[in-house]
Amino acid sequence: MNKKWMLLSGVVSILLVIASGVCMAEEEKGHEEHFGPHRLELFLGNTHDEGENDFTIGIGYEYRINQMFGIGVLFEGIRSESREWIIFVPLILHPYKGWRFVLAPGLELEEQTRDKEYLTRVGAGYEFEIGRWSITPEFNLDFADRGAVPVFGVSFGYAF
């Protein structure tokens, strides 16, 4: 089953690269400059897994390689019956204005059983920038062996 998700990650990556070429052609020349290539974010949200809603908190870092692409790391904790911790390495596409799309391979660790599971996150959000600060409502789907798990919430970021 893990090969299935790895293949899905590869296909989505290729589609993101193709989409970035199309979106770059539409990008405005007068787009405002960012404050720096670094961004720290706090994520507050909800994970809906196996019929239950669980509070999710995360902290992330993004390094903007250029105006279009970023790469980072994201740690999330899910408060469920058995606490879960997830680490992602997101590839982030910023195609137009505040839009961002995420493809992130990750590893989930369940605290009680110490089970590990590979998963892939696909998500979208829109960054509302207020100076160096940003507020980003976002929706993500985490694909794992048990199926697609929706995760939604808001990220609060600081660029430097």
- Domain assignment present for 30: no
The pLDDT tens digits for 102-126 are 999 999 998 877 889 999 999 999 9
pLDDT for residue 28: 45
Q: Which of 41, 45, 42, 46 is nearest to 70 (CA)?
A: 41
Q: How many domains does the chain have?
A: 1
DSSP state of 95: -
- Domain assignment present for 32: no
Domain span including residue 154: 2-25+37-159
| Per-residue confidence band for 144, with pLDDT thresholds at 50, 70 and 90 | confident
- Domain assignment present for 60: yes
- Domain assignment present for 10: yes
pLDDT for residue 49: 84
pTM across the whole model: 0.76
Burial bucket for residue 81 (CB in 10 Å: 0-12, 13-18, 19+)? exposed
- Domain assignment present for 31: no
pLDDT for residue 5: 57
Strand partners, 153: 45, 138
Q: For residue 12, give the CATH number of its domain.
A: 2.40.160.20
- Domain assignment present for 53: yes
Kind and range of the H or E element at 88?
A: strand 84-88
pLDDT for residue 145: 84
- Domain assignment present for 89: yes
